[in-house]
Structure 1
Amino acid sequence: MEEQTIKKSNQKKACANCGAELNFKPGSDQLKCDYCGYEEFIENDKTSFEELELSHYLNTVGNEAHTQTISVINCKNCGANQHVEENYKSLACVYCNEPLILEDQQDESWIFPGAVVPFQFDKNKARQVFKKWVGGIWFAPNKLKRAALDAEGLHGLYIPYWTFDCNLYASYQGQRGVYYYETRKVRTKNGVRTQQVRKTRWSHASGNVSGFIDDILINASEKKRREIPTKISRWDLKKLVPFTEEYLSGFVTEKYTISLKDGHHHSFQKAKDVAYNWIRQDIGGDTQRVSHADINLSDETFKHILLPVYISSYIYNGKDYHFYVNGQTGQIAGKYPISFWKVFFLILLVIIIVSLIVVYSQ
């Protein structure tokens, strides 16, 4: 049984030169002082990180093992649980910009993160990505384009994920379909013609498949409206490094709200999809039917990991809009409002041009 390792988060580190707080320098392995420029390397063993035994955490009091206590502020507007530092420059919710009250923070425990993908570029670069993206949206309101210049409106956030590894074994019963074609005569108004009709010849199939599934990724943030867009949720998990608190310095960290148990349930559904893909490949042919599959997972392990995203939120006509920049790849995605007046004047311009063409063509 694992030894209980409950401890208090203590991610602040003072500058050895001037005493100010050191923050993580994105794209590096260093902490940097924003006041005097002093830099210090992060001590980290990048060779490996721990995979935790899933059954121990699900079936016993394992949730109390490998646990850390952190301070969390709950946003009363949108419900996000955020871990911020006492001197964080902007005490506002990263999702909805609602002011956060530092006195409302409470100590909560979480399963200690096993790994993190550190931010690969700073807020200035993220703002340039956002500005370029907004500049290419012609129908966006001018207020949105001005918001792209607001440095305080962009926040760096570490988002919680569960990853699951397992060995999968599945036995199955099904059918293998092979296409063949028959020539059929069809009567039309122009006479009789022939056409090829595709049919399927089915045969029984059974067998088993097995293999290792690595890093089934499950978003551990419960709010569906805050799900990270698919476009930016492609991560290179080979760049994960063992977790150390220094990587969080200067950024907001969201505490997971999807439990390990629920995350595992979601991961089983993804493992099931993998199993059915393997089964169809094993059956072969042109098409397949799977009538029964007995799926078993073994040697299951998991990690709690943190992944980097820059977020900008914007309210237009009483509606929230969110924009996301992947803090590893620079991919950007989001929904944006449409300016009524820009659309109106474009339609008006088209009508005028068409009218002039009609007049001069007569």
Structure 2
Amino acid sequence: MEKQKRTISEQKKSCINCGAELTYKPGTHMTTCDYCGHKEEISPSEIGFEELELKPYLNEMGSQSHSEEITMLHCKNCGANQHIEENYKSLHCVYCTMPLIVEDTYTEDWILPGAILPFQFDQKKSHQIFMNWVKDLWFAPNNLKKAALDPQYTKGLYLPYWTFDAQLYASYTGQRGTYYYVTVPYTTTVNGKTVTKTRSERRTRWSSTKGTITGFIDDTLISASNQHRNQIPAKITNWKLDALEPFNSSFLAGFITEKYTISLKDGHLQSNKEAKKIATSWAKRDIGGDEQRVHNINMNLSEETFKHILLPVYVSSYQYSGTKYNFFINGQTGTISGKRPYSFWKIFFFVLFIILVIGVLVVFFQ
């Protein structure tokens, strides 16, 4: 029974020609052999996305029906927990690049992903995105392009997220603000004389209101990782979730998967806060008028379901003048964000140039 639990995402498909492991080819529905070039198609799922009923999982009932064991490696340097799908000759932490010890592997249960957003480009393309980013940096040191970036440390990482669906019902009390205009007098000086004029001023008339709202909340996205030292920048989290695929372990081949460290319960609590924001927005729309105030809102969620999904990002770091800088690339859109060094002298001479220009303009107009 234990071996059966491991067959879904731990299985490694071998090439029928040479026996080597197959890896996922980004941007396709194919796995390929890096040695002989053999390709195999990833079969589409017959059942599509599977939304899991939330309540039994929160009550710790039925949690084994969609769970399995996964092998994990813990980085003793930065604390990241990661699942290695490929047998790398040299294992390094995807975040801090420190060596990982294979003998330190351990197993944990995880809720199987219900969907995955596959990588759309390979490691070589991610390296080119980084180099183009470096070229466009303002005030960067001239020799930054020669930064020691070892491509082997650029790893494709699947990040864990929770998504929550629910039917929302809420009652609210608040106020509707309606604009009206009044004419008010004011005094001003014209040709040395004080004169009285009038102008129109906008006012708001408030009236009490109450009502109910209902609607379906679809795919509230909540990060399931609390790697605070390696926080993924918000700038690159612009995934297009309409491209999600039903989960297939073949998409993991050759990549690293981070196991969720934020529990389903905590993720659900965070999703409730997002649902409250949505309910408030819907209430304001229902109130109408020119301005809205929501004083109280009582929210109820029903028919709640969830998915564990995996989203793609390339993670790496580079060395410059003895300092390590991290950068992250969205594995679907190619958006990049990262830390970078600045050239003191470029900034100094730029500021000096601005001061000289201002000085010349002051002299010219005197």
TM over 0.5: yes
Q: Alpha-carbon deviation of 1:285? A: 0.4
Q: Which amino acid aligns with 1:114?
A: G
- What residue in structure 1 maps to residue 115 of structure 2? 115
Give a deviation string over 1:288-316, Cα, whole Å, max 9, x none: 11111110000000000000111122355
Question: CA separation of 1:65/1:194 partners in 2, compared to 1, >3 Å: closer, same or farther?
Answer: same
Q: Which amino acid aligns with 2:166?
A: C
Q: Is the 8 A contact 1:86 1:102 kept in 2?
A: no
Name the SS of the counterpart of 1:216 in structure 2. Answer: strand
- Which piece of structure 1 moves more, 289-298 or 234-243? 234-243
**Structure 1 unaligned blocks of 5 or more:** none
Q: Quick one: distance in 2 between partners of 1:228 and 1:206? A: 41
Give a deviation string over 1:123-179, Cα, whole Å, max 9, x none: 111111111111100322356433486322321110000000010001111110001
- Which piece of structure 1 moves more, 325-334 or 299-308? 325-334
Q: Is the 8 A contact 1:144 1:314 kept in 2?
A: no
- What residue in structure 2 maps to residue 314 of structure 1? 318
In angstroms, what is the RMSD of aligned CA positions? 2.6
Q: Is the 8 A contact 2:147 2:319 kept in 1?
A: no
- What residue in structure 2 maps to residue 263 of structure 1? 267
Residue 28 (structure 1) aligned with residue 28 (structure 2): yes
Residue 293 (structure 1) aligned with residue 301 (structure 2): no
Name the SS of the counterpart of 2:110 in structure 1. Answer: strand
Question: CA separation of 1:141/1:181 partners in 2, compared to 1, >3 Å: closer, same or farther?
Answer: same
TM-score (norm 2): 0.89
Q: Quick one: distance in 2 between partners of 1:329 and 1:280? A: 33
- What residue in structure 1 maps to residue 138 of structure 2? 138
Residue 218 (structure 1) aligned with residue 222 (structure 2): yes
**Structure 2 unaligned blocks of 5 or more:** none
Q: Which amino acid aligns with 1:7?
A: R
Match of 2:212 among 208, 211, 214: 208
Question: CA separation of 1:34/1:183 partners in 2, compared to 1, >3 Å: closer, same or farther?
Answer: same
The residue correspondences of 1:47-58 to structure 2 (distance < 5 A) are 48-58=48-58
Q: Quick one: distance in 2 between partners of 1:34 and 1:203? A: 69
Question: CA separation of 1:63/1:320 partners in 2, compared to 1, >3 Å: closer, same or farther?
Answer: farther
Name the SS of the counterpart of 2:63 in structure 1. Answer: helix
Question: CA separation of 1:47/1:147 partners in 2, compared to 1, >3 Å: closer, same or farther?
Answer: farther
Match of 1:337 among 333, 338, 341: 341
- What residue in structure 2 maps to residue 275 of structure 1? 279
Aligned residues: 357
Question: CA separation of 1:258/1:349 partners in 2, compared to 1, >3 Å: closer, same or farther?
Answer: same
Question: CA separation of 1:179/1:320 partners in 2, compared to 1, >3 Å: closer, same or farther?
Answer: farther
- What residue in structure 1 maps to residue 255 of structure 2? 251
TM-score (norm 1): 0.90
Residue 127 (structure 1) aligned with residue 127 (structure 2): yes
Name the SS of the counterpart of 1:338 in structure 2. Answer: coil
Q: Quick one: distance in 1 between partners of 2:184 and 2:360? A: 55
Name the SS of the counterpart of 1:64 in structure 2. Answer: coil
- Which piece of structure 1 moves more, 329-338 or 238-247? 329-338
Q: Alpha-carbon deviation of 1:117? A: 0.6
Q: What fraction of aligned residue pairs are identical, expressed as a percent?
A: 57
